Amino acid sequence: MTARSKSAHREPLVRIVKRGDISTRKAWCIRALAALGAVLTGALLILALGHNPGPVYGQMIIGALGSKTALTETIKKAIPLLGAAIAIAPAFKMKFWNIGAEGQIMAGAIAASYFALFHGQSLPRPVLLLVMMAAALAAGALWGVIPALFKARWGTNETLFTLMLNYIILGFERYLQNGPWKKPSSGGFPKIAMFGESAKLPRLFGVHIGWIFVLVLVVAMTVYLYRSKHGYEIAVVGESEPTARYAGMNVARIIIRTMLLSGAIAGLVGFLQVSGANYTLTENTAGGIGFTAITVAWLAKLNPVVMVFIASLLAILQKGSGRIQTEFLIPASAAEVLTGIILFFMLGCEFFINYRLILRPGKERKHG
Amino acid sequence: MKNLTKRFGEVIANDKVCLTVRRGEILSLLGENGSGKTTLMNMLSGIYFPDEGEIFINGQPVVIRSPKDAFDLGIGMIHQHFKLVDVFSAAENIVLGLDGKAVIDRRALSEAITGISRKYGFEIEPERKVYDMSVSEKQTVEIIKVLYRGADILILDEPTAVLTPQESEKLFAVLRNMRDDGKAIVIITHKLNEVMEISDRVAVLRKGSCIGTVDTACTTPRELTEMMVGRSVTLDIDRPSVPRGEERLKVVDLTCLSEEGVTLLDKVSFSAYGGEILGIAGVAGSGQKELCEAIAGLCPVQGGAILYAGEVGGVPLHENLVGKSPMEIIRKGVALAFVPEDRLGMGLVAGMDIVDNMMLKSYRTGKGPFADRAPARVLAADVVERLSVVTPGLSAPVRRLSGGNVQKVLVGREIASSPSVLITAYPVRGLDINSSYTIYHLLNEQKEKGAAVLFVGEDLDVLLELCDRILVLCAGRVSGIVDARWATKEQIGLMMTHSGKGGGKK
């Protein structure tokens, strides 16, 4: 039998073995090595583009953190990322793949803008801001709960559903921008008017107070997910719906409730964007934040505290790569590749923290 | 096999195990849960790679890197959970994954399969679709699949766990034929009577090490158990006599349909009394699952009534459970400890730790929005200690525990809620002897406390020894209720299939 002749297999060259518990120090060593690897690989890319890696990296850091303005801009980028990631967390924990945060942000932004644009004069500032926020929460919750209702009632696929809702709300925004809400003086380049002063979020330490909102959300969501009864229910439903039913949980109600919450937080992010960052509504108000937030949430393993760091890292990379584009005329695509390399190393190293590679012993044993 | 060692992280699953399997013999591999039987066999079949040690086949050292290597070396494994494609026919499943021409010569294939079947005494229709097959037929397909690929060494992981006594007999006849044909067969099992019946030699594993190999002819079940457990144990199951209490549950004409409208339960009627263990026997898929789920409120009921008599806070209560939500039923003191085929499907959350699993049904207690984990932690520690659950710690995900320990956690939690009706389905499925006895003991304790215990089991010997009465289900109908003290295995076996068409059909 030919099978026998194959018995001369050698041990595989590299084997992957799961590690037991690894010491924290060792884990951080691996992470540090990964960071070094990322910097070196990125340097190769920069060299290939004909630049000196040292100054380019330097400018990235300066561009993101070097001055008060730069730092403010970076934080302004991190706020919506973090907020949207927190919004996604409970849904993802429930294994309800809400990729509609983008649309929920937009829904919240539109609702908040309505009050800013049409009731901006009649209401005092605190009341107006509160009304805008409430409207954004409600609109986001509505946009989030629609797919949940369909999933709970008819078992529809939430991934497609939430994705499609993104396009609907984006189309609606374009309609408003080009029609009813168009600023009369904007001419052939349709725009929505800037908000009045009373519709703008106040600042604290140079950044709109959205950062306080999201930090409070980090704490609240951590407690909600890990300490509350609701959080427990979400985790059980996510692991196994039959088990949840067995434990007497009303699965449909939990799905709906969780998506109301997820959508509402995303809606709040929309409010922060229009009222804190942009002072107006554009079709880029959500600008892919809802999708990038999925990366943030996932990388943080849905842990809100870790999300703070991931969102900051992404914001720094985005801001820094923007800087080197203008400073060294490095094309945007190359800057993105650089960002990708750094992320790849930082995330890839988690694999080496969980697994160990074993090389075939150098001295080859004779087989067969 | 020589000095095979396999570690998972810091856990040593196999420690320098040496084992020999000869051609033309059936070797039983015996050991408690988590003693490393499956890991050892998985190394042979290429699913895991050993950390140390060598494997020899026909005296040649070999390296098995993948299941494909194992096939090439003539090693075939029949897993506990079948790996078949439901919508394919038997023949299609058998050639699945094999290299070959793009076009399958169906006639030649059919002939080859029939040839193998005739040689060893299988009964199979190559063109039948897998979803139409009973469990034992599926198993047959699995066995032919490995034989068709030219396996000389067959490994069967708990093959009889899902079979009726009659089907097991048939399987053993086939195994003997294969042995006489010169194949080497390794069979993993927990059932000592089967070990004595089928095998030529027995290898015993304990905590990852091989304790020894003995000739079956020169040993006794008692001796084997002692080797396995490491100390002497009694093999008799207690049946404490408790005066029968009041009627706790009266099921009248209970009827359930599946979503497709197939009758799953057909006018099932019986009563369960406090202080009694009512056994429920039947071929797999005869409606046991639906019966348990209907009582717990998890399965929609089309007709009939489930009358429950208990008390809530000292107030007597008589109610029909049909139409109540699972939550209301739990509150009334009906506990369901259902251990499904995959052990973790329902009842426990695999990714959560023992503490979080303990509060699965009780997390709502306490005011306010926050879940109080303190009582759950106390209970978890208590269950771990009382049932001697082997776990790295209370915060280890249940997924990482071995099957037996998972079941102890589940049964421990259900019992801790001091239910007035305790439904357990397959609580000892796949459990080793020691753990099984712990579970039997716990059920008896509940019975002595006056709870009505429903015990859905598959091992008739156990049902006969443990239960007071046995209800036999066949294709969704009650074919009889017998007194366990007087009934015989053959009598129940016949009742399990009495409709004449065989119980395999749903």
Q: What is the DSSP string of A141-152?
A: HHHHHHHHHHHH
ipTM of this complex prediction, to 2 decimal places = 0.73
CA distance A55 to A330: 13
CA distance B52 to B3: 7
Domain boundaries along the sequence of chain A: 78-327
**Between A113 and A51, where is the model more confident?**
A113
**Which residues in A lie closer than 8 A to residue B326 (C-beta atoms)?**
245-248
The tens-digit pLDDT sequence of chain B (506 residues) is 555 555 554 456 677 777 777 778 888 888 776 677 777 777 777 777 777 777 777 777 777 777 777 878 888 888 776 777 777 777 777 777 666 666 667 777 778 888 888 877 777 777 777 777 777 788 888 888 888 877 888 888 878 776 777 778 888 888 888 888 888 888 887 777 788 888 888 888 877 777 778 887 777 777 777 777 776 666 667 777 777 777 888 888 888 887 777 778 888 888 888 888 899 888 777 888 888 888 888 888 888 888 887 766 566 677 787 877 788 887 777 776 666 555 555 678 878 888 888 888 778 777 777 777 778 888 888 888 877 777 777 777 887 777 677 878 888 888 887 788 888 888 777 667 777 888 888 888 888 888 888 888 877 888 888 888 899 888 888 888 888 888 887 788 778 776 443 333 33
B349 with A17: Cβ contact below 8 A: no
**Which residues in B lie closer than 8 A to residue A367 (C-beta atoms)?**
61-63
Q: Distance, in angstroms, between A246 CA and closest chain B CA?
A: 7
CA distance A101 to B425: 43
pLDDT score for A6:
41
Check whether domain A78-327 has CATH 1.20.120, yes or no = no
A18 with B72: Cβ contact below 8 A: no
Instruction: Categorize the per-residue pLDDT at A20 as very low, low, confident or very high, splitting at 50, 70 and 90.
Output: low
In 3-state terms, chain B is what percent helix, strand and coil (to 5)?
35, 25, 40
Share of chain A above pLDDT 70, in %: 90
For B:297-356, CB contacts with A below 8 A are 298, 325-330, 336, 338, 344-352, 356
Of all residues in chain A, the one with the smallest CA distance to B367 is A229
pLDDT score for A167:
93
- Which spans in B73-161 are helix H? 90-95, 106-120, 135-148
B63 with A228: Cβ contact below 8 A: no
Per-residue pLDDT, averaged over A219-248, amounts to 88
pLDDT score for A347:
76
| Tokens found for residue B373 | 């984990």
Determine the 3-state secondary structure of B201 from DSSP: strand
Closest by Cα among B90, B284, B32 to B168 = B284
Of B7, B65, B363, the CB nearest to A12: B65
Lowest mean pLDDT among A93-97, A231-235, B321-325, B340-344: B340-344
B72 with A229: Cβ contact below 8 A: no
Residues 6+ apart with CB under 8 A from A24: none
A248 with B9: Cβ contact below 8 A: no
**Which residues in B lie closer than 8 A to residue A5 (C-beta atoms)?**
none
Interhelix angle for A158-178 vs A125-154, to 10°? 140
For residues B305 and B323, is the Cβ–Cβ distance under 8 A? no
Q: Best residue in B11, B49, B56 to probe A by mutation, most A CBs within 10 Å?
A: B49
pLDDT score for A7:
41
B349 with A9: Cβ contact below 8 A: no
CA B243 to chain CA centroid, Å, is 31
**Which residues in B lie closer than 8 A to residue A6 (C-beta atoms)?**
69, 72-73
Q: Is B425 on the interface with A (CB under 8 A)?
A: no
Q: Is B49 on the interface with A (CB under 8 A)?
A: yes
pLDDT score for A136:
93
CA distance A330 to A349: 27
A10 with B63: Cβ contact below 8 A: yes
Tell me the residue type at B452.
Answer: A
Q: Distance, in angstroms, between A234 CA and closest chain B CA?
A: 12
Q: Is B364 on the interface with A (CB under 8 A)?
A: yes
| Tokens found for residue B224 | 């084997």
CA distance A64 to A66: 6
Tell me the residue type at A262.
Answer: S
Q: What is the DSSP string of A263-287?
A: HHHHHHHHHHIIIIIISS--TTSST
A10 with B73: Cβ contact below 8 A: no
* Angle at CA of residue B253, ends B252 and B259, nearest 5°: 125
Strand B75-78 relative to strand B153-157, pairing = parallel
**Which residues in B lie closer than 8 A to residue A236 (C-beta atoms)?**
349, 352, 360
Residue A215 CB coordination number (10 Å):
13
Interhelix angle for B165-180 vs B106-120, to 10°? 100
Q: Best residue in A232, A250, A261, A364 to probe B by mutation, most B CBs within 10 Å?
A: A232
Sheet with strand B209-215: strands edge to edge: B75-78, B153-157, B184-188, B25-31, B201-206, B209-215
| CA pseudo-torsion sign A215, A219, A220, A221 | positive
Domains of chain B and any CATH numbers: 2-229 (3.40.50.300), 247-333+419-496 (3.40.50.300)
| Tokens found for residue B116 | 């193998």
For residues B212 and B36, is the Cβ–Cβ distance under 8 A? no
DSSP element (H, E) containing A10: none
A245 with B326: Cβ contact below 8 A: yes
| Tokens found for residue A31 | 């992470």
CA distance B371 to B359: 9
For B:145-174, CB contacts with A below 8 A are 150
Lowest mean pLDDT among A1-5, A9-13, A267-271: A1-5
**Which residues in A lie closer than 8 A to residue B359 (C-beta atoms)?**
232
pLDDT in tens, A245-284: 888 888 899 999 999 999 999 999 999 999 888 888 888 8
pLDDT score for A367:
41
Give Cα separations from B481 to A260, B280, B397, B469, B471 (angstroms): 51, 9, 41, 7, 4
CA distance B391 to A330: 55
- For A306, counting Cβ atoms within 10 Å of its Cβ (0-12 exposed, 13-18 middle, 19+ buried), the class is middle
Of all residues in chain B, the one with the smallest CA distance to A228 is B370
Q: Distance, in angstroms, between B65 CA and closest chain A CA?
A: 7
**Which residues in B lie closer than 8 A to residue A223 (C-beta atoms)?**
370
pLDDT in tens, A124-141: 888 889 999 999 999 999
B9 with A20: Cβ contact below 8 A: yes
Q: Is B361 on the interface with A (CB under 8 A)?
A: yes
